[in-house]
Amino acid sequence: MKKVIGFDQEFDSILNQLLGNKLSNSLLLTGNKGIGKNYFIMSLIEEYIKKSIVSDQIHHHLSLLKNNSHPNIIIVEKEIDEKTKKLKNFIIIDQIRKINQFSLETSVNENIPKFIVIDSADDMNLNASNAFLKTLEEPKLNTYFFLISHQPSSLLPTIKSRCLKFNLSNHKYDNFSSIIEISNPNIDEETKKFLYDITNGSPGLINKYEFDEILNIFERLINLIVDKNPFSERNNDTIKFLSGFDNEKLKVFISIIKFILITINKIKLGINITENYLSKSILKIDTISDKISIDYIQRKLDYLINNENDLFTFNLDKKIFMINFISE
């Protein structure tokens, strides 16, 4: 059986319900971004195929699944805008209409249910959400909806009420370490601890980036916060560097800025961070805590909270966003 590190019990429970035709047709899987929710769902479908298809057809079905071309499975996520060539901000109603059509079509292989994966359901705009709600209200036979959500509070309460809910909690360090080592077997212990601390145990946030780059940018972000002049040579270079990131990558590093600010705040309040974090690299934050006031930290956090969503929703200028963050 496929191993889903850290979530074996949840995985086995859902798989057994699915195999026994006892699973609700709508499943809402929640947890922090990068925790492994998409991997969990796709592994679930893979295991179902292995246990439901005759042996001489398994390879064919798994090949289709791997290439995202299986006729019984559809994955709904934000699409690329044909005009701007950038990722759209939302899952739109036209995509939900395609789901409805897909659910009505005759199944190509009746031995496998239809699986509709929405990753993430948080990305549906209001029109798409309302259209999807109508789909849930009229469940189709032998069709399963798997909704992935990083922020379930953003979903319509009526959608959540129609789903079986499973939450994946943050990974413990040992599980996080094992996941990171799959793609980076030579990674050293200190780097793993550092990555665990800044991601709160969510390996998917950083698994696709060079770890040396993350360490380097972490130090640059510390300097960015301390040096309050957005036009200094050092800060100007960092702002230019960050502005070149795509939205998903910039979101990761904005989350690291928040982590630094919150950690400084803990230090200012007299909390011993050596008891909270595993990495020695995090202790670098302690060296700048006396240079920043609690009021300054709160202003920076307020700016990010109030403006980050607009930055990505309306594709605002990233350089201006970062300059205003420092100047605020």
Question: pLDDT confidence of 209, banded at 50, 70, 90?
Answer: confident
List the alpha helices (DSSP H) in 138-202.
157-160, 173-183, 189-199
Rounded to 5 degrees, φ, ψ at 244 are -85, -5
Question: How do the domains of the chain map onto residue ranges?
Answer: 8-167, 184-327
Q: Name the token pair of 174.
A: 């040992």
* Average of per-residue pLDDT across 35-62: 92
pLDDT bracket for residue 199 (50, 70, 90): very high
Tell me the C-alpha distance between 191 and 189, whole Å.
5
Residue 92 has pLDDT above 90, yes or no: yes
Q: What is the pLDDT of residues 283-298, one digit of tens each?
A: 889 989 999 999 999 9
Q: Read off the pLDDT of residues 97-134 as tens digits, 9 standing for 90 and up.
A: 999 999 888 777 777 899 999 999 999 999 999 999 99
Phi-psi region of 184 (alpha: psi -120 to 50; beta: other; left: phi over 0): beta
211 touches 180 (CB < 8 A): no
For residue 186, is pLDDT > 70?
yes
Model confidence at 1, pLDDT cuts 50, 70, 90, reads low
- Residue 211's pLDDT is 84
Stated as kind and residue range, the H or E segment containing 143 is strand 143-149
Rounded distance between C-alpha atoms, residue 67 and residue 75, angstroms: 12
Q: How does residue 244 score in pLDDT terms, banded at 50, 70 and 90? A: very high
pLDDT for position 93: 97
Question: What mean pLDDT is reported for the chain?
Answer: 92
**Can you say whether the dihedral through the CA atoms of 226, 232, 234, 235 is positive or negative?**
positive
Percent of the chain scoring above 70 in pLDDT: 99
Cis amide bond preceding 120, omega within 30: yes
215, pLDDT greater than 90 = no
Which is it for strands 164-167 and 26-30: parallel, antiparallel or unpaired? parallel
pTM of the model: 0.89
> Which of residues 216 and 46 earns the better pLDDT score?
46
Average pLDDT over residues 43-56: 91
Ramachandran region of residue 175, left (φ > 0), alpha (ψ -120 to 50) or beta?
alpha
Contact, 87 vs 78, CB < 8 A?
Answer: yes
- Residue 237, pLDDT > 70, answer yes
For 218-244, what is the mean pLDDT? 90
| Per-residue pLDDT tens digits for 127-167 | 999 999 999 988 788 899 999 999 999 999 999 999 999 99
- Band (pLDDT 50/70/90 cuts) for residue 208 is confident
Nearest of 102, 95, 113 to residue 27 by alpha carbon:
113
Which residue, 48, 45, 54, is CA-closest to 74? 45
More confident residue, 84 or 184: 184
pLDDT grade, residue 35 (50/70/90)? very high
How large is the average pLDDT for residues 217-237? 90
CA dist list (Å): 179 to 67, 72, 192, 208, 266: 23, 29, 10, 12, 29
The pLDDT of residue 14 is 96
Class of domain 8-167: alpha beta
Task: Give the model's confidence band at 87: pLDDT under 50 very low, under 70 low, under 90 confident, else very high.
Answer: confident
The pLDDT of residue 180 is above 70: yes
The identity of residue 20, as a single letter, is G
